[in-house]
Amino acid sequence: MTIFLTRHAHAGKRSIWEGDDALRPLSDRGVSQAQDLAVHLDAEAPGRLVSSPYVRCMQTLEPLASRVELVVEADPAFAEGADLDAALAALLGLDEVNGVACSHGDLIPPLLRALRDLGMVTDGPLLDQKGSLWTIETVAGRPTVGTYRAPRF
């Protein structure tokens, strides 16, 4: 089976956003990245879309949700500052449905290290650029191979 993990698309600078950071939306560049992810992942026939409840994460998966006729489920396990063990369990729980998860830059690197510790092999460094995607192959619920796809925009 396969799990897909993406970092939210570009959302502009936190330092110039006025208001609650959880409400910071995607930038124009981020919208393009989200649309590109949707085109790429549409062919994978994902069965479930799960996201941090932050607006920028939800917006990252919305174009895909429209293409595959699914709802993006908000899950605090993928929010900024979330517990690593809870996030890892939620991520691995997507194994049976070719699930897609969207999270943040503070959580994705520790998640990738935890997956590597569980046996995931990669062909390069554990990168996590905004709008990037990890394809994580699993066998019997255990991560085996992780492949990185850099953002296109």
71-104 tens-digit pLDDT: 999 999 999 999 999 999 999 999 999 999 999 9
Question: For the segment 108-143, what is each residue's pLDDT rounded down to a tens digit?
Answer: 999 999 999 999 999 899 999 999 999 999 999 999
The alpha carbon of 53 is separated from its chain's Cα centroid by a whole number of angstroms, namely 12
Q: What does the pLDDT average to over 142-150? A: 98
pLDDT greater at residue 14 or residue 59: 59
Quote the pLDDT of residue 13: 85
CB-based burial label for 40 (10 Å; 0-12, 13-18, 19+): middle
**What's the pLDDT at 133?**
98
pLDDT of residue 26: 97
Mean predicted confidence (pLDDT) in 52-61:
98
pTM comes to: 0.97
pLDDT of residue 12 exceeding 90, the answer is no
Distance CA(148)–CA(151), nearest Å, equals: 10
pLDDT of residue 9: 98
Q: Are strands 72-74 and 49-51 parallel, antiparallel or unpaired?
A: parallel
What percent of the chain shows pLDDT beyond 90?
93
CATH of 2-149, picked from 3.30.2270.10, 2.40.50.1020, 3.40.50.1240, 3.30.559.10, is: 3.40.50.1240
Once rounded to an integer, what is the mean pLDDT over residues 54-81? 98
Tokens of 53: 């409840």
Residue 123: how many other CB atoms lie within 10 Å: 8
